[in-house]
């Protein structure tokens, strides 16, 4: 075969692309798994490379590698991270369930580069993989990549969304709208109260996510093959976590029980569950925006979202709520990702979970999707929508449910009769109440004042 070279591993010889940095085991994975043509996520590969650098630094300290060998590995890893490293990681997501193919891909690429740096051979297994097994490094990379994704992407995006909502709540505080339960007219609420409700949902989700970070930052590294730590220095786990913390500026710690962290993926399942909860919150916010924006003539028409693009290929002038719609699709995808992670999390057979790559893919996909859609929702929907005050006032003035405020004075049954009459005759509730009670118009205006019925504040 042209433009290839011969590489060898324990199973024999095979052809590898001549310029590829990887070796035989990576090529076998490329040949064996032409399934989705999707590579492992870039965030995961980044975490795996960082883990290899941290391992080399720890092994230098523990005298498991020479200074020159360890430094060559660190330099190779850092060089990869500074360039387009994904071109060197072709292994499909759907591969061996331990992620061994991706681990060996990293070992082979880094060994090639480190050998060039050092001018003498660096072995993928004996040197780059020193003190490690795929069975602990892949669960570690899942935790590290997810933790970095939360710190760098999702948590800042959610905080930004909360801040935008709270600023908008101040702006729209003067506006009062018809509340709705069961999608039916209910008692009035301030527009600011609606937004503060969204903000509180998100704050609760942020808090729950932060509560999971200590578990996510607890690592399986040091357990090697089955959790016993065979072939790893007794101090390797502690040294690895310290070095990784220095490299990432995120505090990682050795796991309290490495058998649990290798045999299960309970923390990833828990994090995914919280990502699903965030998706549910975003779906609620997106749908509220869509309903309030509906119309503009035949719907609620309470707000006008920023027009971002033409909404139809056939209906001129139509503009659709594209950002809330995109957010709702993200929410649906994240909920689906969680289902996959839930099933994969059940595949901890004895000492190893064997669906690690798909857990990594779905967990990181959910983090990225939620982070990106949260920022778009904040900046292109919530920050820029306009309130249609005339539409709000028109609906409020015709809302017979305002009669609820008279319940303590005239009783629920009498109030229901007034509401039904107002509905049937299409009249204002204050006019009907004036005919059916002994209350004066001035009294009714005070009792039925929508502003007072919202408790006057956020």
Could you give the residue numbers annotated as active site?
182, 312
223 annotated binding-site participant: no
**CA angle at residue 48 from 46 to 53, to 5 degrees?**
95
Give how far the C-alpha of residue 140 lies from the chain's centroid of Cα atoms, to the nearest Å.
19
Q: Say how many CA atoms lie within 13 Å of 56 toward its Cβ.
A: 31
* 373 annotated to a ligand binding site: no
140 annotated as ligand-binding: no
**Is 246 a known ligand-binding residue?**
no
330 is known to lie in a ligand binding site: no
Whether 134 has a binding-site annotation, put simply, is: yes
Is 124 annotated as contributing to ligand binding? yes
User: In Å, how far are 31, 34, 91 from 95, measured between CA atoms?
Assistant: 11, 9, 8
456 is in an annotated binding site: no
319 annotated to a ligand binding site:
yes
Do 286 and 329 contact (CB within 8 A), yes or no?
no
Contact yes or no for 55/131 (Cβ under 8 A): yes
99 is in an annotated binding site: yes
Residue 26, annotated ligand binder? no
381-to-141, 275, 299, 315 alpha-carbon distances in Å: 35, 21, 18, 23
CA–CA separation, 448 and 246 (whole Å): 62
Number of neighbours of residue 395 by Cβ within 10 angstroms:
16
**Tokens (6 digits) for 3:** 């433009």
Q: Which residues are annotated as a binding site for substrate?
A: 98-100, 123-126, 133-135, 181, 313, 318-320
Q: Which residues are annotated as a binding site?
A: 98-100, 123-126, 133-135, 181, 313, 318-320
């Amino acid at each position: 075969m042209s433009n290839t070279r011969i590489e060898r591993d324990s199973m024999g010889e095979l052809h590898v692309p001549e310029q590829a940095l990887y070796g035989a085991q990576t090529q076998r994975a490329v040949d064996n798994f032409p399934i989705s043509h999707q590579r492992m996520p870039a965030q995961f590969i980044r975490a795996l490379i960082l883990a290899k650098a941290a391992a080399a630094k720890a092994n230098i300290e523990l005298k498991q590698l020479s200074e020159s060998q360890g430094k060559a590995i660190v330099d190779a890893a850092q060089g990869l991270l500074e360039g387009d490293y994904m071109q060197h990681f072709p292994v499909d997501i759907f591969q061996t369930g331990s992620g061994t193919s991706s681990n060996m891909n990293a070992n082979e690429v880094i060994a090639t580069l480190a050998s060039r740096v050092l001018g003498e051979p660096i072995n993928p297994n004996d040197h780059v993989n020193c003190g490690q097994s795929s069975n602990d490094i892949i669960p570690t990379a899942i935790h590290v990549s997810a933790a970095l994704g939360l710190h760098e992407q999702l948590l800042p995006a959610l905080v930004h969304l909360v801040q935008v909502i709270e600023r908008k709540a101040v702006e729209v505080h003067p506006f009062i709208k018809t509340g709705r339960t069961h999608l039916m007219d209910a008692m009035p609420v301030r527009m600011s109260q609606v937004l503060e409700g969204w903000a509180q949902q998100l704050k609760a989700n942020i808090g729950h996510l932060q509560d999971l970070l200590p578990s996510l930052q607890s690592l399986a590294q040091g357990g090697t093959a089955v959790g016993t730590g065979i072939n790893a220095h007794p101090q390797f786990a502690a040294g690895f976590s310290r070095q990784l913390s220095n490299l990432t500026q995120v505090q990682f710690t050795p796991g309290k029980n490495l058998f649990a962290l290798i045999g299960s993926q309970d923390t990833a399942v828990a994090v995914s569950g919280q990502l699903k909860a965030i998706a549910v919150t975003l779906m609620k916010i997106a749908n509220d925006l869509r309903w309030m924006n509906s119309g503009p003539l035949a719907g609620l028409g309470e707000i006008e979202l920023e027009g971002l693009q033409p909404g139809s290929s056939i209906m001129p002038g139509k503009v659709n709520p594209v950002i809330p719609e995109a957010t709702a699709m993200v929410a649906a995808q994240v909920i689906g990702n969680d289902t996959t992670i839930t099933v994969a999390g059940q595949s901890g057979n004895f000492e190893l979970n064997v669906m690690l790559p798909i857990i990594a893919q779905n967990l990181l996909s959910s983090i990225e999707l939620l982070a990106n859609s949260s920022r778009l929702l904040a900046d292109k929907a919530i920050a820029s929508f306009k309130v249609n005050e005339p539409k709000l006032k028109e609906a409020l003035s015709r809302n017979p449910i305002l009669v609820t405020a008279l319940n303590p004075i005239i009783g629920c049954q009498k109030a229901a009769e007034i509401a039904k009459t107002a509905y049937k005759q299409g009249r204002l509730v204050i006019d009907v109440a004036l005919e059916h009670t002994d209350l004066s118009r001035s009294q009714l205006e005070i009792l039925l004042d929508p502003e007072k019925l919202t408790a006057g504040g956020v």
